[in-house]
Each structure stands twice: as structure tokens, then as C-alpha cells.
Structure 1
Amino acid sequence: MAEIELKFQIPSQSRAQFEQDFQKLQPTRHRLCARYFDTEAQQLQQNQIALRQRLEDQQWIQTLKAPTEQQFERFELEHTLKSPPASCDFQLYRKHKPAKKILKQALGDLDIPLILQFETDVARYVLTETHQNSQIEIAFDVGEIRHKDQAIDIYEVEFELKSGQLSELIDFIRPWIQRYDLWLDTRSKSERGYALLQGEESLPVQHQLPLELEQKDQIATILKKIVANCLAHLFPNATAIAADHYNSDHVHQARVAIRRLRSAFKIFQSVTEHVQPEWPEQLRDIFQQLGSTRDRDALAESLIPQLEKAGSPLLKLPPHRQKQPDISALFRQTATVDLILQLLSFSQEKTHSKAKSSHKILCKGLSKLHQQICQDAENYQELDIESRHRTRKRVKRLRYNVEFLQSLFPEKDVKTYLKALKPLQESLGHYNDLFVADELFRPYVKQNSKAWFVLGWISAEQQRLSSEAAERLQQFAENTKPFW
């Protein structure tokens, strides 16, 4: 009913060695020819559902796949077809309650006709391995996805947990990553097919998803749920960047997801021993490498229109002064992939402790942040630049941690508090952007005197936003009370 699998792309420089080594293991070869169907309006795709008919050697099998609450676990239902299908419909699912429910929620009507969308032609090499107490199937796929006269290559390996523990699956995979530089790819063949069909260069951007906690959850369980939620936010954006099919929004959301992870680890560090000390440091390094790319993107989107409105003679960012990091390579690096898998394994571990614990312990961290922000409000205009940046980071961290725990409190109270935080975070964020802009344009005046106008505008805007931020901080401190 459910499958747990991790898919990886094999970089071109490793393919010959991978294929040579894999064939030595004497895998079984299968020919897989699949046809993917959807409604005319592509309602299945909109709900992340895939419906295919696949010829596996000499046997036709119809498969329905749909997402579950777990990032790498999918609902899967297979039917063996007695004869080559002339068409595809939903008849097989009318008496299967889970499948019918999924399709009803997505479509409403199971009589909607289906249309062929695209096809795949794959040579699959399969072998099964035992690792500790788990059975793991390794599938090496070589082939292509086709739509009319267009095609994209498939060259990837999937590790599926047939039985056992996810932690053992990940432990089994790690040496493969080290040897062949495999990088994690969350895209299904269905998703890649739709991208080909629609001519999309970049993949959909993933925003953060709702997080549901329970009052009975132990501290360790809460942390694992938060990490799983942050990873579900990060994975699709990391895949887009690694595949070099990304835009500035993917970079922004990847940074937000990483910042949320770092915020979670910080608030939990005093109440749990489950966090590996190197994780926050590794996340910080990735965050910083994404930073320069995101900073320029953000300034291009926000600063340039403001400069144009102000009549600036210079309406473009200065050229890069140094070589920029290859962020696609960053998410393909073995160290990054290994970190992500460690976090995934941690997020899915069962909590064995029977000791009672309460989320109220975490509220002490919220109270501390709230108090620190209120203290900063008393003399914000007198603070040095680094202290002001610290205030901004506290506000962000407070927001993320409130969002993590919001399902444990009355919705109205949470919304009121977050509503008070939002304008404060925006003012402090815009204020910080101006310092980034100043660092970018100040060295440029030697090459282009028009940059003096920009620096003058930045200086005036800094004064205005500093006063605005101080006022909003004061309003927050005086009018906003903790709800926890």
C-alpha cells in the first residue's frame, strides 16, 4: 500500500564506474514501457497523483500513486491487467476505499475521461540486498521520457525499503553516495514528464507546510516532527537547485527551510540531547553559501525598483567582485547529501523514552526571546549595527518557533501574535537589506561615480527605516503579550 524509496541521480563522471560495478552484482534486467494518463485539465498532477499503465516485460500493470504525510512514503496501488489495455479509466478504484477517497478528493467525479500525457521507455536493472534487518531493492534505470518529438534522459538509481527500518536503508545507501557522488532527487518520473510536457525550465517552488503537533507529544517527538516538516520544505527546492532548474524563489525557500531548522535546533538545544552538535554548524555553512546568491536576487527584486522611483542614474547592481559559489554543486556535494540523509533518518526515528515531558518547557525559550526583543526596544536607536542585526535574527527566530508550536495553542491567539510580529520583521528585514546594498555599492564608486547617488539614497533610507523599526519595536513591546 505504501512505498518508501530514495532516488538519486548519478553524475556523468561516475556513470561508467557505477554501471561497471553494478553489472558485476548480476542484477535482473527488465524492460519497462509506461504510459501516464491524466484528465484534460491535468487534475491528477495538480494533486500530485500519478496514474500509469506499464508493460513490465510481458505483463501490463496499472499503478496509482499519491502522496502521504511522509515525504518519502507514497500511497501505491497496483493492478495486474489481463490483456493489453486499449484505454485507461478509474473503474479499478471504485471499490477500493482508500484509492476512491484520494481520487474523489482530487476530481470529485470518477467518470472524467483520461488522456495520454507522456511515455517512458526504461531498462531497469534490479537486485535485492539484505542490510541488518532490512530488505532493500536497488533499481538502476536507464532510458528516456517522451512526449511527441521531445525526450529527456533517465539515468538514476532508486533504493526502496521492502521491509525494515528507514534508518537501515539510509545506513546502507551512504557508502554508495561516497563512492559514486550520488545526489538526492525528489522528482518522480511523473513530475519530470509533466515538466517536459509543459516546457517548464524550473520546478515548482515548495513553501513551508502546516505542522500538526499533539499535546501528548514528548519533546523529542516534537523536534523530530519539526525536522521532518522542515525537510519537506527543503527537499523539492534543494532538488531544483541541484538539477540546475531553479530561480530566486527556490533559493529563498531553501534558505528559509534551513533557517527554520537552525531555529528549531537552537530552541531545543537546552532541553534535548538528540541533536548532533555538528548539524547546526553544517546547516550554517550551507546557509551562508546560499546567502550571496539570495542577497543579490533580493536586492535586484526590491532595491532596483525603489532606485528607479527615486530617479537614480544607476539602475543595475554592481558586477560580482569575486567568484560566486556554485550552489547547484553545493546540493550535489557528498557532504550536503549525507547531512540531509542524517536529518531524515533522525526525523523518522521512534522516540523510546517513556519519561513525561511537556511542550511548556519550550515556551521558556519563547519567553526568553520575547523578553530580549522587548529589552532591545528600549534603546534600539543606541544599539550598534551588530546588535541591531541580532535583534532582527531574534524576531525571525521567535516567529519560526511560534509557528512550530502554533497547533498546540488557540488559533486566534497565535494569529494575533504573529500579526504583531510581521510588520516588525519586515521593517528590520528591509533595514538589513540596505546594509547589504551599501556593502555592494560602496566599492563600486571608484568605477562608476553614479553609485554616489545610490549611496546617498541608501543613507537617507537607513535613517527612515531605523526610526520606523524603533517605533514598531516599541509598539510590539508595549502592546503584545505572550499567549503561551
Structure 2
Amino acid sequence: MSKIELKFQIPKDQTELLIKALQRKNAQKMQLHTNYYDSDDFKLSQHAVSLRQRLQDQNCVQSLNIQTQNQSKHSEFNINFEQQTNPALNLQAYKYNKHIDKNIIKLLNSLQNNLRLQFEIQVERWVTISSFQNSKIQVQLDQGQISHNHQVKDLIEIKFQLQQGTIQDFISFIFPYIKRYHLCLNGYTKLQQCYLLAQGLTEYPTQNQSTLQLKHHDSKAVALKKMIQNCLEHLLPNSTAIASGYFNSQHVHQARVAIRRLRSAFSMFSNWSQHVDPIWTKQLAIIFRQLGTTRDLDVIAEEIVPKLLKAGAPELKLPLSTQQTSISLQQLFQSLDFNNLILSLFQFIHQPNIDSSEKNNQKISIKKIIQLHQHIQRDVQNLLEQDITTLHRIRKRLKRLRYSIDFISSLYKSSEVKRYLQTLKPAQDMLGQYNDLILAETFFRNNIKNDPNAWFALGWIAANQQHQLQQAAHYLQIFANIRPFWHSA
């Protein structure tokens, strides 16, 4: 059975208040002890599968959990062991289950002699089911610890699950909790936190974008929802890491990429649905700008300065990624505005589809992409004579084109799309590197009074800018003359 659910991080100073609020709603308290099994090289995890046994009230339930492409949904298959507290794993029960993919069955069979206890999670759980409007929603708060090979980590989270009713009721029910208890979305599962502990990592792993698979018979509305869902799967793990304070510059970079992809999706395909709120693009633009300053400093510190030092630059004064900057980024993704925006997008994704008619998405999707491609073709004429504003516009168009093609690439011949993108990428990269030099020039020019060594940096930047621009012009000209992939469709 598929479930719609959302999980949130809880500030430590709000935990007891939230537990008391659930107690007033007659929440039941229970002790749970969960064991997770996998091979020593974590083969199940690699296939987005988890196998666990959970002891609750002297009964044990074995669960096979299979993550779907939509990360807010999953399929779960349970086996009850009544009055058994430590039963052996039972994999045979899944063998003839028609609802489980045959490849998962094969995987389980291949690992049946290699599965070991890898993680233990012991929590005190508070659970209540609330009736809201015409819906029933389960609220579940877990507080406890996870352990792996004698390593221990504290765990606290709250999860909301729609058991019956509408997505509108679900979101309306959750929002007051976020506002009252300062909750922020959690893009990581308990099991992912276990793997973090096993690897001895303090920072969450960064999440890159995943491949999107559209179908030719998807309606326009369904296709747009899939695009937004794909972007959220990219954004939420990175925003979770930043909100928790355990992040690095790559989390910031990937969060910006995910937000730019969302903006591109709405810019190119918003007319595919009548339910797109124009305010979303404005909110995404604000968040993107707030992330921009930090990302610019990271680029200078991590990409430009190493090149300067290699070229013999003297010691340069740089503003480090200060604690104040880190705190402001945490607050950004902890904010009510950000979490409310994500809830709105989540509601958009899961609302029922009215238009289910089949369309030729291949033809529909390409119209604006062709227009964008043609704009870029005109832009690259006399590129070396263009001003910085025009160059920046070309760079933004290249990115929008790249992300838009990523969204719809599954509708076209993969080899032709790959050829097209392989020509687009160096043009985009070279123009991006030129933009980095422009950013660095502005930074060091503003820093001359505080650091005379900045003159060396400015000289090196000036010497490299023209070369970088010529390289960009070369690759853009190649791209402008390429035969587009849609001509072979």
C-alpha cells in the first residue's frame, strides 16, 4: 500500500512542548526496538530496499520496504510473528507475492545467506490519529537512539501520514504544527541516518539530481508534477543538511541547482497546469538570491584562489564562510516561508489529476525549447563584443535550456539528446568560468584597501578573462551550428 507522508526535524527546545501537545490529543506511548538487516556491503540499500524486524508490545513485525521513484511514497509488505520476540528472518513469504517486483525477489534470494544485523533503533514513540475536515491523519513522534557497532546517535523526528482523505486537508493540518513548533522538513530517513553513522560522517551526503522518466501518454499536468517532484527530491536532502547545520559548500551549490531547476520548470512549462501559483516563482527567486552570496564566496575561495596560488600569488585575505553566514543559511531553510513553499509544491504534486487525456508530449514539450535554442543562436553572434549583462543573460538561457532538456529527454532518442548536451555543456561551462572571473574581479577590486595583494589577483584575472571569453565564444559557435536532437524525432 502506498502512503503519503512528510517528516520534520524538531528543535530540541520544542520537543517536550510537542510531546505534551500530543498527550492532550490522547497519543499512545510505546517502546519500539527495530533491527535492520542488510549485507555487509549494503546491497539492499543500494537498491532502495530495507528489511527490518520491529518488536512492539512483545510482538514482532517483519517489514520489507521498497522506495518508489516518488520518494514521498513507498510500498511496505509486513509479516506478523505473534508472541515471538526474536524470530528468524522469513524471506519465503515474499517469494510468491505478485505485488513485489521480480527483481527484488531475486535480490532477496541472492542475499538470504548474507544478511546480517546492521543497525538498531530504539525509540519512545507517541502516536495519535486526528480527524481533520474529512480526513484522518496520523501523527507520530519518535525520540531515541540509533546504533551501529557500538556507535550511538540521538534521534528525534515527527512524521505526518495521510491515512484517509485529501491532500488539501493533509497540508492544512500540518501547517499550524510547523508554525507553532518551528518544524522544518526532513529529507532523510532513519535508515539514511544509520548509514551516516556507519560511515563515521558528521555531514549529510549531498544529493545530486536524478534522471526523470516521462511517458509519452502522460498528460501535460502529470508531466509537470513529475518535474516538480524530481526537483524536490533533489532539493530536500540538501536543504535538510543546511537546516541541521551539518553541511558544506556542495550542499549550498546543489540546493541552488535544484532551485534553478524548479524555476526553469515553471518558466518553461507552467502553462501545462491551471494550478500553478505565480507566487512560487517569486519565492524561489528570493531564496536563490539569498543563497547566491554564499555560493559566490565559495567559488572564489575553492576555485579561483587555488588557481591564483598556483600562479604564484602572495597570501590573499579572504572572508571565510563565517559562522554568521552559516547561521543565516540555516535560518533560511528553517524558516516558515521556505517550509510553507515546499508544502504548497507538495500539495500541487499530489492533488488529483483532472486532465488524464493522452497527449503527444514530444511535440508539446519542444515548442519553448526551440524558441530558447533560437534565442541563444542569435545571442552568440558577435559574442566578443557583447557587454557583461548580455553575457550573463546568455549564460542563464543556457542553463534554462539544459535543465529543460533534462526534464523531457526521456521522450526523445537518448543518443541524439546526449550528442546535443555534450555540445551544450562545454559552452555552458566556459561561460560559467568566465562569470566566475567577473565575480572574482568585483570581489578583489572591492578588497584592495584591505589587501594590497589583491592587485596580483586583478592582474591574473584580467589576463585570463579574454582567453576564457574566446573559449566560450568558440564552443558557443559550435553549439549554435549543431543539428538539434528534435530534428531526428
Report the TM-score, using the length of structure 1 for normalisation. 0.93
Give the deviation of 1:56 after TM superposition: 0.8
Seen in structure 2, the aligned counterparts of structure 1 residues 73 and 354 have a Cα distance that, compared at 3 Å, is closer
What letter corresponds to residue 89 of structure 2 in structure 1? C
Moved more, 128-137 or 389-398: 128-137
Q: Structure 2: how far apart are the matches of 1:379 and 1:416?
A: 25
- Matched with 1:349 is 351
* Contact 1:230/1:260 (<8 A) preserved: yes
Moved more, 368-377 or 441-450: 441-450
Q: Structure 2: how far apart are the matches of 1:22 and 1:322?
A: 35
Q: Structure 1: how far apart are the matches of 2:394 and 2:128?
A: 54
* Contact 1:14/1:180 (<8 A) preserved: yes
- Matched with 1:190 is 191
Give the deviation of 1:427 after TM superposition: 0.7
Show the 5 A alignment for 1:246-265.
246-265=247-266
Seen in structure 2, the aligned counterparts of structure 1 residues 105 and 170 have a Cα distance that, compared at 3 Å, is farther
Show the 5 A alignment for 1:99-138.
99=100, 101=102, 103-104=104-105, 106=107, 109-138=110-139
Question: 2:325 is paired with a residue of what secondary structure?
Answer: coil
Q: Structure 1: how far apart are the matches of 2:291 and 2:409?
A: 28
Give the deviation of 1:357 after TM superposition: 5.5
Seen in structure 2, the aligned counterparts of structure 1 residues 480 and 426 have a Cα distance that, compared at 3 Å, is farther
Moved more, 169-178 or 85-94: 85-94
Residue 211 (str. 1) matches residue 204 (str. 2): no
Instruction: From 369, 380, 384, give the equivalent of 1:381.
Output: 384
* Contact 2:142/2:158 (<8 A) preserved: yes
Q: Structure 1: how far apart are the matches of 2:184 and 2:251?
A: 17
- Matched with 1:177 is 178
Moved more, 348-357 or 110-119: 348-357
- Matched with 1:279 is 280
Question: 1:407 is paired with a residue of what secondary structure?
Answer: helix
Q: Deviations over 1:327-368 (max 9, x none)?
A: 122111111111111111112223313677653344221122
* Contact 2:18/2:181 (<8 A) preserved: yes
Q: Structure 2: how far apart are the matches of 1:345 and 1:112?
A: 43
Instruction: From 440, 446, 450, give the equivalent of 2:443.
Output: 440
Unpaired runs of at least 5, structure 2: none
Q: Structure 1: how far apart are the matches of 2:422 and 2:117?
A: 46
Q: Structure 1: how far apart are the matches of 2:113 and 2:317?
A: 51
Q: Structure 1: how far apart are the matches of 2:65 and 2:259?
A: 29
Q: Structure 2: how far apart are the matches of 1:76 and 1:451?
A: 59
Seen in structure 2, the aligned counterparts of structure 1 residues 184 and 441 have a Cα distance that, compared at 3 Å, is same
Show the 5 A alignment for 1:283-432.
283-314=284-315, 317-319=318-320, 324=325, 326-353=328-355, 358-359=360-361, 360-432=363-435
* Contact 1:89/1:113 (<8 A) preserved: no
Q: Structure 1: how far apart are the matches of 2:198 and 2:468?
A: 46
Question: 1:317 is paired with a residue of what secondary structure?
Answer: coil
Show the 5 A alignment for 1:147-166.
147-166=148-167
* Contact 2:239/2:333 (<8 A) preserved: yes
Q: Deviations over 1:5-35 (max 9, x none)?
A: 2111211232232222221111111111112
Moved more, 82-91 or 123-132: 82-91
Moved more, 97-106 or 415-424: 97-106
Residue 466 (str. 1) matches residue 469 (str. 2): yes
Q: Structure 2: how far apart are the matches of 1:99 and 1:156?
A: 29
Q: Structure 2: how far apart are the matches of 1:16 and 1:435?
A: 50
What letter corresponds to residue 226 of structure 1 in structure 2? M
Unpaired runs of at least 5, structure 1: none
RMSD: 2.3
Seen in structure 2, the aligned counterparts of structure 1 residues 316 and 45 have a Cα distance that, compared at 3 Å, is farther
Give the deviation of 1:2 after TM superposition: 2.8
Q: Deviations over 1:251-291 (max 9, x none)?
A: 21111111011011111245654321110111111111222
Give the deviation of 1:48 after TM superposition: 2.9
Seen in structure 2, the aligned counterparts of structure 1 residues 212 and 17 have a Cα distance that, compared at 3 Å, is same
* Contact 1:35/1:52 (<8 A) preserved: yes
Instruction: From 457, 462, 470, give the equivalent of 2:460.
Output: 457
Moved more, 10-19 or 445-454: 10-19
Q: Structure 2: how far apart are the matches of 1:177 and 1:291?
A: 26
* Contact 1:34/1:52 (<8 A) preserved: yes
Give the deviation of 1:408 after TM superposition: 1.5
Q: Structure 2: how far apart are the matches of 1:456 and 1:303?
A: 13
What letter corresponds to residue 37 of structure 2 in structure 1? F
Question: 1:69 is paired with a residue of what secondary structure?
Answer: coil
Q: Structure 2: how far apart are the matches of 1:320 and 1:2?
A: 42
Seen in structure 2, the aligned counterparts of structure 1 residues 143 and 181 have a Cα distance that, compared at 3 Å, is same
* Contact 1:271/1:361 (<8 A) preserved: no
Question: 1:78 is paired with a residue of what secondary structure?
Answer: strand
Question: 1:483 is paired with a residue of what secondary structure?
Answer: helix
Seen in structure 2, the aligned counterparts of structure 1 residues 391 and 105 have a Cα distance that, compared at 3 Å, is farther
Q: Structure 1: how far apart are the matches of 2:88 and 2:36?
A: 11
Question: 2:124 is paired with a residue of what secondary structure?
Answer: strand
Seen in structure 2, the aligned counterparts of structure 1 residues 90 and 420 have a Cα distance that, compared at 3 Å, is same
* Contact 1:202/1:245 (<8 A) preserved: yes
Q: Deviations over 1:303-343 (max 9, x none)?
A: 23322332222366345799536212211111111111111
Residue 483 (str. 1) matches residue 486 (str. 2): yes
Q: Structure 2: how far apart are the matches of 1:449 and 1:136?
A: 62
Q: How many aligned positions are there?
A: 484
Seen in structure 2, the aligned counterparts of structure 1 residues 203 and 81 have a Cα distance that, compared at 3 Å, is same
Seen in structure 2, the aligned counterparts of structure 1 residues 290 and 102 have a Cα distance that, compared at 3 Å, is farther
- Matched with 2:237 is 236
Q: Structure 2: how far apart are the matches of 1:381 and 1:122?
A: 63
Report the TM-score, using the length of structure 2 for normalisation. 0.92
Residue 52 (str. 1) matches residue 55 (str. 2): no
What letter corresponds to residue 338 of structure 1 in structure 2? N
